[in-house]
Amino acid sequence: MSAEATLSYRRARRAYELGRLRSSFEKALLITSLVALLGWLTAGASSLRLLPLTLVIWLFAHWVGQSVQRGALYGLVGGFVTHCLPMSILRPCCDMNALPGADCCTMPGACLLAGSAVGVALAAVVPFGRASWWKTAAGMAAGLTSVAVLKCATLFTGEAIGLVAGLVGGLLVASAARSRLAGASA
């Protein structure tokens, strides 16, 4: 290949990737806006401080595309379910009349358990077939995290880590087990 052809290829490739990045940014901005609206309506303005993480996750998912993007969209739905979990599940030792964000207790174990349950339930819908299951599961974990971080902004650090760890861990472990079972029966 000549140097001129290589230079032309690099220019074309750079233009292609920049176009994909621009398109991904527009799509990520749309999804992030919807997630921001949900966070603002349900958890208040304090939840929006983690919005840049949501934007980066969706920018990456759209830029990579295929299995990761499809998984992230499944995770988005699961994230909305997680976001709707009542605080009475995530903080069972708090009084129901306690103010949101009040320092009444911290129960990372309850968050871990709730997150794991949602993660395992989501793993049941990880599609198998031509797509790589782990890319889809990783995309799903990313999409789930992009919404769950807004819920976690209203929790204490230990609870937030417990919820996200439970979600991602439950999803990945159950997806791997499902993949092994599918491979063993084939």
Question: Quick one: which of 176, 180, 89 has its CA closest to 141?
Answer: 176
75 vs 24, residue with greater confidence = 24
Where residue 131 falls (left for φ over 0; alpha for ψ -120 to 50; beta otherwise) is beta
Phi first, then psi: give them for residue 76, nearest 5 degrees.
Answer: -60, -45
* pTM (2 d.p.): 0.71
The tokens for 149 are: 């971080």
pLDDT > 90? residue 33: yes
Which pLDDT tens digit goes with each residue over 108-163? 666 667 777 777 777 776 665 555 777 887 788 788 878 877 776 666 666 667 76
By CB atoms closer than 10 A (0-12, 13-18, 19+), residue 84 is: exposed
pLDDT band for position 104 (cuts 50, 70, 90):
low
Q: What is the pLDDT of residue 166?
A: 76
pLDDT band for position 186 (cuts 50, 70, 90):
low
Residue 131 per-residue DSSP state? S
Mapped onto helix, strand or coil, the DSSP state of residue 28 is helix
